[in-house]
Amino acid sequence: MKSFEWVNASTIAEAVRMLNTAAPGKDIDEAPRPIAGGQDLITTMKDYTTRPTRVVNLKSIRGLDRITSDSKGGLTIGALVTLNQIEEHAGIRKNFPGLAEAAHSVATPQIRNLGTIGGNLCQRPRCWYFRLEEVVCLKKGGSQCYAATGENKYHAIFGGGPSFIVHPSDLAPMLVALGARVAVTGSSGKQVIALDKFFTLPAEGDVRRENVLKNDDIITEIQVPASPFAARSTYLKFKERESLDFALAAVAAAVQLQPNKTVKTARIVLGGVAPIPWRVPDAEKFLTGKIVNRDVLAQAAKIALKDAQPLEKNAYKVPLTETLVRRALAKAAGVSL
Amino acid sequence: MQQQTQQQPAAKPKKKIRVPRVINGVEQMVEIEVDEDSGPGWGPNDKHTLLNHRIPRVDGPLKASGTAKYTYDMRLPGMLYGRILRCPHAHARITSMNTDAASAIPGVKAIVKAPLEETRFSGAPVAAVAAITPEIADDAIHAIVVKYEILPHVVIPDESIKPGAPKVVPDPPDRKEDNLQQKAKAGDLQKVEAAFATADAIIEAEYRTARLHHSCLETHGMVVDYRGGETATVYASTQGTFTIPEESAKFLGLPQSAVTAVVQHMGGGFGSKFGIGTEGMFACRLSKETKSPVKLMLTRYDEFVMTGNRSASWQKIKAGVKKDGSLVAVQSRQYRLGGVGQGSQAGQPYIYRGGEFYREIYALHTNEDSSNAMRAPGHPQASFAIESLMDELAYKIQMDPVAFRKKNLLSPTYHRQLDRGAKEIGWSRRNAMAGGNPGPLKRGFGCAVGTWGGGGNNQCKVDVTVARDGSVVVAVGVQDLGTGTRTYTRAIVAEEFGLQVTDVTEQIGNSKLGAAVASGGSVTAASLSPSVKDAAIKARLLFAERVAPLLDNAKPEDIKFANGTVSANNKSITWKQASASLPAAGITSHGVWRSDLQATGVQGCCFAEVEVDVETGFIRPIKMVHIQNGGLPLNRLTMESQINGGMIQSLGMSLWEGRVIDGELGMPLNPHFGDYKLPGSLEMPELVPIIDDDDKREAVIGIAEPAVIPAVGAIANAVFNATGVRIRELPITPDKILMGLMNSGPISTAKV
């Protein structure tokens, strides 16, 4: 770990200022970084992938660790709320079950006790080329995405190119499905961004980053609006190994049903298959107005995966994700397959 | 093992026997001469008071409470921390190395370079730093500027075997060597070809196993305590206390006798920790240069790329069988994939002896770190391939796989173990049609068998001392890898004196104590326990001579030691009273190895039940049963623990573990526990370790290694039974299951 300056911020404004005034470093990976739970940042610092000149501690800021509800039942989740708080929150478990499931699916109890929702959304990719200190890939300022033609079993089948990472967050697909927004404060003030506009595809945004945040931006809270489909939400994550693993593929689903199981609204967002949480609107549209049954779900799953573009070693993700789409929707709709 | 008996003219009859000697974790057989008959034996296996019972590990509380001190825990006054700089390239020449910037970092005390100009694998150590904190040492290795001339490399075996592939290992002076080198050839090709003509069914297939890591909880490393004087102490995480002083002394510039190795507790070796290694060489040089204690424990990344591995394998096998299940011929071409090293692989058809066979074994080099010994070197690889193939043949002729094995394995031990295992796993619940169960969650069953040696050798010298206050110490320099050495060493002595385990203290893990064997090849128990027993018997007789006057001058061999009392001639006194008759310095006996207290040759079999979700490819191990014989179990808890550990390690090899390397970069991509996936607690099936007590041999035999061999075949065969998809390449991951199902047929096949 390269030596760095540590600053405890006591207010959001101070945190932004401390990020803004630090020496920027020669490279984006040397820029100052905010730290909350540190569960991802520390690992990238230990292998010198991230070498910040200054680390600004957000945990010393009061009031960012609360979950509150508005009069309509919408949630405001402080950026420092831990994954454990989310998975155990009675109101979330009842009214946003998919969010509790997504939080519970992350890593281990130890990591969930420390990892925060803000940090979870800002995780760096798990791509093994990116994580290997010695490899200077496209995302680290190099000229090549080695996964494009290399060992790409874990990589993107949607939205890839020029980088083929998948976004590692479990909360992100679920929060996108729930229509969440993030409040961000930076040197130019506070803004609220819809979460589906927060993440950036490598072809569209800065390939060195995974979201719109600038060096001195920090997430302060996540807003999850009340919705008619939140109560029927679910998160289904597939891991090769149940003890501590990232998703090979995951599905965040939410549905609003009429009494005869006709779909009024559907939200389907895929995780582990694209550089951003990957919403599949064609499948959502297909489901709308249909009575949920085995055949309809199978067709919806096919539609969800129809535009997949597998790489050499990840074609298996197509049938796998189809299965997860069917199963997640069945669970959300309360039908058996 | 072959035993050659030969009468000697000497008064005491001698015999020559062949015993294993462990060199770098791999056992080699040597001939030694021993006494024909040298004293009382262990007695019947069911008559022990402590041995063959369930004895809680004596160091358990220390380990569970964090009190046990490992090398990693050592902290000495003025101690420096070492870190190693590795070459990232698979093949390169070092053209220059500039350490000025690193030396200038405050807190950096010394930098030493590796004596090499050319590196042949990614991860090769090129320099090391000692600094006052590990973080400063880390920053310092990042500040060393090395210029490399990149040379061509090859890390994919299928590329390495092609003509014109980059050369991995340099030519020896006397000959030219390709990446492919033939190492062994056996059997009769003509007879095999003739036999194939008589077969009713033939299968040709190609099997591959991945490169595996030992994954020791404690990484390799040493703490070298040398402060410029005439002596040094080396704390080492090693499988061989006595493999440390000589090599350390060489780099410290001291006589071997001036260096003491200390190994109180160590966090696993599995074959990878013999000698001081490159890291130990660096630690000694840094300590010598700074005249300060230096702690150099490898980082996990270092551990994954520098300390060797279980060689991968690529095996092409053709086998023919009669309709009644009898094998007629097996022909194999086996590639040991040991990186720049030799690799290891047992010769096919492994334990199956029916019919004719012909095999060729090759080392096929790639630009990867050298393989080294890992728990049963070369055996799980061979076992996976042949047990899969036997299963394929059984299905092809529609014969029950258990019946098929009984047909081709003559030993009644295997027959009884297979019957027991089939009963324990519930083999009758198995659907004979592979993939035939309804629904997406499909259960399947598989089995496999295995064998090992496990005999010992004459390298252990043990002292037993009884003090006048009745306290008992058993001392020998041996290390305890976590395999229960401390516990049985105490228990053997305690039982001999009719005492409890807690009445005896062991002193181990120090090269100033009696010489001992290095722990590899499952030789420790069969090497050490006879010496301990011999010392204990001698101590009992010495003690008895002293105490005889208190017991109406009973003959020493007639004096009974039981339940904390010493008795003869209807007189009984307590152990304490008896001990008071000893001289002021107590008594000490010296024990040596006795071949008659140990044996070699064990057999085992494993059964597995799995559940496969054929819509996701997810494999859930449900239950595993391993039955193992092993003569006299010194401690049943330990033996069961070894069997469980073997099943777990084999399960990891079957379903999750394996190095992934990039062909273009030549770098391993998963040198960390995030992507090198060890099974965790949630992956554990019901584990049923069964000690085969029908083995009545009154002799100690090592069983650490056989426990890891058959499970991999049992799991693979269970997956096939569940799905109807035969995966011939380990690990069996969900992507392979799904692609196999999509292609609706066997995958990864090839001709011999």
Given an 8 Å threshold on Cβ–Cβ distance, is A128 in contact with B669?
yes
Query: Which residues, 6+ apart, have CB-to-CB distance to B105 below 8 Å?
Result: B131, B136, B139, B140, B143
Which is nearest to B77 in space by CA: B299, B298, B297, B291?
A: B291
Q: Does A307 touch chain B (CB under 8 A)?
A: no
Angle between helices B245-252 and B277-290 (to 10 degrees): 40
Report pLDDT for B746.
44
Q: Write out chain B residues lying below 8 Å of A126, CB-based.
A: 674-675
Distance CA A114, CA B4 (A): 65
- B671, closest residue in chain A (CA to CA): A132
Cα A202 → chain centroid: 15
Interface of B with A in 81-140 (CB under 8 A): 88, 122, 135, 138-139
For B680, which of A132, A151, A244 is closest by C-beta distance? A244
Q: Do residues A53 and A4 make contact, with C-beta atoms less than 8 angstroms apart?
A: yes
* Distance from the A187 Cα atom to the nearest Cα atom in chain B, whole angstroms: 32
Q: How far is CA B624 from CA A240, B629, B706, in A?
A: 20, 17, 15
Q: Do residues B510 and B477 make contact, with C-beta atoms less than 8 angstroms apart?
A: yes
Which is nearest to B54 in space by CA: B482, B633, B647?
A: B633
Distance CA A219, CA A193 (A): 10
Q: What is the CA radius of gyration of chain A?
A: 20
- B617, closest residue in chain A (CA to CA): A320
Which is nearest to B272 in space by CA: B305, B315, B319?
A: B305
Q: Write out chain B residues lying below 8 Å of A134, CB-based.
A: 88, 122, 667
Q: Do residues B690 and B628 make contact, with C-beta atoms less than 8 angstroms apart?
A: yes
Report pLDDT for B12.
72
Interface of B with A in 133-192 (CB under 8 A): 135, 138-139, 142
Question: Per-10-residue mean pLDDT for chain B, 752 residues long?
Answer: 48 80 71 81 97 97 96 97 98 97 98 94 98 97 98 98 92 78 95 98 98 98 97 98 98 98 97 97 98 98 97 98 97 98 96 94 97 96 98 97 96 97 98 95 97 93 98 98 96 98 98 95 95 98 97 96 96 97 97 95 97 98 98 98 98 98 98 97 98 97 95 98 97 97 58 32
Q: Write out chain B residues lying below 8 Å of A2, CB-based.
A: 139, 142
Given an 8 Å threshold on Cβ–Cβ distance, is B664 in contact with A146?
yes
Distance CA B104, CA B127 (A): 16
- B674, closest residue in chain A (CA to CA): A245
Report pLDDT for B749.
35
Q: Write out chain A residues lying below 8 Å of B727, CB-based.
A: none
Which is nearest to B416 in space by CA: B399, B434, B398, B402?
A: B402
Cα B748 → chain centroid: 30
What is the number of other CB atoms lying within 10 angstroms of the CB of residue B429?
9
Query: Burial letters for B543-579: b for 16+ Cβ neighbours within 10 Å, e otherwise?
Result: bbebbbebbeebebeebebeeeebbbeeeebebeebb
pTM equals 0.95
Q: Write out chain B residues lying below 8 Å of A146, CB-based.
A: 662, 664-665
Q: Write out chain B residues lying below 8 Å of A151, CB-based.
A: 660-662, 669
* Distance from the A316 Cα atom to the nearest Cα atom in chain B, whole angstroms: 5
Cα A130 → chain centroid: 18
Q: Does B441 touch chain A (CB under 8 A)?
A: no
Q: Does A238 touch chain B (CB under 8 A)?
A: yes
Q: Do residues A271 and A240 make contact, with C-beta atoms less than 8 angstroms apart?
A: no
Given an 8 Å threshold on Cβ–Cβ distance, is B667 in contact with A132?
yes
Given an 8 Å threshold on Cβ–Cβ distance, is A241 in contact with B615?
no
The residue whose two tokens read 């270092």 is: B302
Distance CA B15, CA B392 (A): 45
Report pLDDT for B10.
52
For A243, which of B88, B301, B682 is closest by C-beta distance? B682
For A146, which of B139, B662, B683 is closest by C-beta distance? B662
Interface of A with B in 110-129 (CB under 8 A): 126, 128-129
The residue whose two tokens read 């035993």 is: B3
Task: Spell out, as residue ranges, where chain A has pLDDT lower than 50.
Answer: none
Report pLDDT for B21.
76
Interface of A with B in 243-302 (CB under 8 A): 243-245, 248
Given an 8 Å threshold on Cβ–Cβ distance, is A320 in contact with B656?
no
A·B CB contacts under 8 A: 85
Given an 8 Å threshold on Cβ–Cβ distance, is A1 in contact with B656?
no
* Distance from the A293 Cα atom to the nearest Cα atom in chain B, whole angstroms: 17
Q: Write out chain A residues lying below 8 Å of B663, CB-based.
A: 150
- B663, closest residue in chain A (CA to CA): A150
* Distance from the A173 Cα atom to the nearest Cα atom in chain B, whole angstroms: 20
Report pLDDT for B681.
95
Given an 8 Å threshold on Cβ–Cβ distance, is A146 in contact with B739?
no
The residue whose two tokens read 């070492």 is: B82
Q: Write out chain B residues lying below 8 Å of A319, CB-based.
A: 615, 738, 742
